[in-house]
Amino acid sequence: MRTCGIGIKDVVEACLEGQASLLIAWPSTNVGLTSVAFKNQHKTSKRKTVTVKKHCGAVVAASNVTVIPTQGTTDKRDTVLQKCLLHQNMGAFVEAGSQLQCRFYGQVLCFQVLASRGEDGSLLESVDGSLLAEDESLDNSMRRLRIHEGAGGGDSSLMECASPRTPSVKKASWSIHSPIAFSTPKSVAHHQRESKEVAFHRIGAGTEIVVKSAAQQHDRKPTRASYDHIGGLDREIRQLRELVEVPLKHPGTFSRFGLKPPRGALLFGPPGTGKTMLARAVAAETKAAFIVIDGPQVFSKYYGETEATLKSIFKDACERAPSIVFIDEIDALCPKRESGTSNQEARAAATLISLIDSLPVHKWVLVLGATNRPNSLDTSLRQPGRLDREIEIGVPTAPGRQQILRKILSDVSHTLSDQDIAEVADVAHGFTGADLAAMCADAALRALERNVTSSGASDAALSRAVQLTKADMAAALRNTKPSAMREVALEIPKVRWSDIGGMQEVKLRLQQAVEWPWKHKDAFLRLGATPPSGVLLYGPPGCSKTMVAKALATESGLNFIAIKGPELFSKWVGDSERAVRDLFRKARAASPCIVFFDEIDALAVHRGSTSGSSNVGDRVIAQLLTEMDGIEQLQDVILVAATNRPDMIDQALMRPGRLDSIVYVPLPDLDTRREILHLNLSKRPLADDVILENLAQKTEGYSGAEVVAVCQEAALRALEEDIDATCIQARHLEAALRLVQPRISPESVRFYESYWASSQGRHDA
């Protein structure tokens, strides 16, 4: 200490790894000459150089210090806690980001300094870096010191001493025989100039310590969010820039025309579409202070505390104007004030509305709310002068997904070409920005695992060798489900068109209705053709209507939601209609999407045909018609329905604009039966006496399911005859034909053909 010109109780500047702190110097017999000891709350590491010098400048007393808890359960209302925190940290030097601690009722509480205001009016606040440090186990005991001993051949920390006095010993002897290294002596004036660059405040008896909750934390974490880092939201960015930048950069124009700057905007859309990232980008581009309020965390168990927290946040926003107050999940803070709303929620909503209305005109403060449930928000908050601008952040389209993928992959080593990225974007139907980021992360993990298992290279060599490939992206795409589909995700069997024998006309009609509009959009636009909004498959039972829908889901690559008619019915009044609404809401969120209704005759019966006082069938069909072709247009959602009772379906469901494409799936003809037999028997060993042509002719009047049943029964007959049988013989197939008889009567076939003729006549007319 004498060598460095430091006396007892002197204020010194200690710099470790670029982090400066002001400390009080005390001698200790437990510390070696080549060691420096710190209190536990100062993060230090062994074998690091510590620069220590005397602080020659003045230290300003702190009048107000704002802290936030980082560890332990705290109650910011407790004045005893604030007094205890002040008493145990009396004389401490603080800056933004400094750590404070106190022992309170046997519990060690840790705090981090958000801001400090000196008695001279100076303000210390964090400009970069996270405000919340990693959780640490801190001990406030002054006796527990972290000691770095200088023994063991260089295990100690080096102490670089800068002193205004010349050392009385030679530098050579110290540098050779001791780990201490002296720098060239500097003048006192030089120290004073350097000290002015280190800004600290000192906690004193007149300091007021304010404890804020996590919901009041100002978000100053370094973020790379800017307009250039956001893809697929060009229109939304343009709308938000018009709302924010014009009144901020040209306030005189607004006042000259008597215009009031906008006070708020509502960003709504599905989760993961980039609402929060867009708000951060606005704050970064406008250099405005960004204050985040997490809706559910604002609520307190104490009466009036929620309102006080909101008032404190808005007061701080006005003091730091221009500023942006971002309220995430605002529907949790301001739900609709109905009979089920609690008194606390009603008070919070009223307080927030009052605070927005009372924002001063001469200070630029913008309130941005984000929600994925805009209809659950209090309607009074969406009136002009409050959150009067509403910007929808929807699921990105294929070009938007392509932009997002390019932004994500810009910092990743990959071998994908622009064409590969475009192909991935085209098939990632319904993926949000968060889904695409998760998909890329999964692909990167696959690339890393592939390189780790194939080579034993070092970390540095591995980081240079790992490259993300198209195969990694394809595997990640198969493994990642869009967020909107996770509630209704189904394991669709991989059925291809080639797995279905015959039915060429049915396949063509479905491809025209579903696949062509996505694969040949330019051709449809060129001719002004509108793809059908729905397809009805009807025909006798067992004619592969459901199997055709499975193949359609596999071949098209679109999101697929399968619903059985009776599943939507409920014994509770209103639940069936709600189930229909939720179904179409999920389909819109997952668009482009196929919604398959199996046995739709159980769901969409003729209105007035149901008995009972509830008339649930009539209400469900009315809700279904409204969702399909109501005021809210159904975009990029294709309905496919299957039934074997088309006469029971309400006619309003089959008019153009709803299920406007009606496809008859008849009994298989000779060519179709031949293909079905070939597909099923080609996988089984057959004797030489089996002739498929004869078998196809003998199955006249059989449905596709019955033809498959004949093949199954023949195999069982062969095993029944000889458990060690190696092939199926003709006599086994003959026995199966006698056992499996066609169950569709000629009258039923004539009914379907008559219905087909009448429906064609209606369409021709």
Looking at residue 340, what is its pLDDT?
Answer: 58
pTM of the model: 0.58
Instruction: Identify residue 720 by its one-letter amino acid code.
Output: E
Distance CA 650, CA 601 (A): 9
Looking at residue 44, what is its pLDDT?
Answer: 52
Mean pLDDT of 42-57: 66
Q: What is the per-residue pLDDT across 295-310, written as a single tens digit (0 to 9) for each?
A: 777 777 777 778 888 8
What is the residue-wise DSSP string for 238-296? HHHHHHHHHHHH-HHHHHHTTPPPP-EEEEE-STTSSHHHHHHHHHHHHT-EEEEEEHH
Please state, as a whole number, how many other Cβ atoms lie within 10 Å of the Cβ of residue 347.
15
Strand order in the sheet with 559-564: 559-564, 593-598, 637-643, 534-538, 661-664
In this structure, CATH architecture of domain 398-482:
Orthogonal Bundle (1.10)
Looking at residue 579, what is its pLDDT?
Answer: 83
pLDDT at 43 over 70: no
Mean pLDDT of 554-568: 78
- Degrees (nearest 5) of the Cα angle 8, 13, 15? 130
Which residues in 356-394 are b (16+ Cβ under 10 Å) and which e? beebeeeebbbbbbbbbebeebbeebbeeebbebebebb
Please provide the CATH number assigned to the domain covering 497-664: 3.40.50.300
Tokens for 449, please give them. 């695992």
Residue with tokens 């500097």: 186
Looking at residue 752, what is its pLDDT?
Answer: 87
Q: Which residue has the higher pLDDT, 388 or 165?
A: 388
Assess whether the region 398-482 and the region 670-743 belong to the same CATH fold.
yes
Domain ranges in the chain?
Answer: 11-211, 227-392, 398-482, 497-664, 670-743
* Fold held by 670-743: Helicase, Ruva Protein; domain 3 (1.10.8)
Percent of the chain at pLDDT exceeding 70: 77
Mean pLDDT of 281-293: 82
Mean pLDDT of 517-534: 80
Looking at residue 457, what is its pLDDT?
Answer: 58
Q: What is the per-residue pLDDT across 169-208, written as a single tens digit (0 to 9) for each?
A: 333 333 333 333 334 444 444 444 444 444 788 888 888 8
Distance CA 527, CA 312 (A): 60
Q: Which of 648, 690, 698 is nearest to 673 (CA)?
A: 698
In which band, very low, low, confident or very high, does the pLDDT at 524 lie, cut at 50, 70 and 90?
confident
pLDDT at 225 over 70: no
Looking at residue 195, what is its pLDDT?
Answer: 40
Q: What is the per-residue pLDDT across 738-761, written as a single tens digit (0 to 9) for each?
A: 888 888 888 888 888 888 888 765
pLDDT at 49 over 60: yes
Average the pLDDT over each of 348-362, 396-410, 473-487 and give the range with the smallest value: 473-487
Mean pLDDT of 363-381: 84
Mean pLDDT of 522-548: 84
Percent of the chain at pLDDT exceeding 90: 0
Q: What is the per-residue pLDDT across 674-702, written as a single tens digit (0 to 9) for each?
A: 888 888 888 888 888 888 888 888 888 88
Mean pLDDT of 642-665: 84
In which band, very low, low, confident or very high, does the pLDDT at 654 lie, cut at 50, 70 and 90?
confident
Mean pLDDT of 86-108: 83
Pairing of strands 107-118, 99-104: antiparallel
- Degrees (nearest 5) of the Cα angle 566, 572, 578? 70
In which band, very low, low, confident or very high, does the pLDDT at 67 lie, cut at 50, 70 and 90?
confident
Q: What is the per-residue pLDDT across 127-169, written as a single tens digit (0 to 9) for each?
A: 443 333 333 333 333 333 333 333 333 333 333 333 333 333 3
230, 277 contact by CB (below 8 A): yes
Strands (E), 488-548: 534-538
Q: Which of 277, 267, 329 is nearest to 298 (CA)?
A: 329
Looking at residue 234, what is its pLDDT?
Answer: 86
Please provide the CATH number assigned to the domain covering 227-392: 3.40.50.300
Looking at residue 612, what is its pLDDT?
Answer: 54
Please provide the CATH number assigned to the domain covering 11-211: 3.10.330.10
Average the pLDDT over each of 191-205, 353-367, 521-535, 591-605 and give the range with the smallest value: 191-205
In which band, very low, low, confident or very high, does the pLDDT at 614 lie, cut at 50, 70 and 90?
low
603, 597 contact by CB (below 8 A): yes
Average the pLDDT over each of 266-275, 367-376, 593-602, 624-633 and give the range with the smallest value: 624-633
Mean pLDDT of 731-744: 88
Average the pLDDT over each of 338-347, 388-397, 500-509 and give the range with the smallest value: 338-347
Mean pLDDT of 39-44: 54
Averaged confidence pLDDT in the chain: 76
φ, ψ of residue 551 to 5 degrees: the values are -65, -35
Looking at residue 611, what is its pLDDT?
Answer: 56
CB-based contacts of 714, cutoff 8 Å, min separation 6: 728, 732, 733, 735, 736
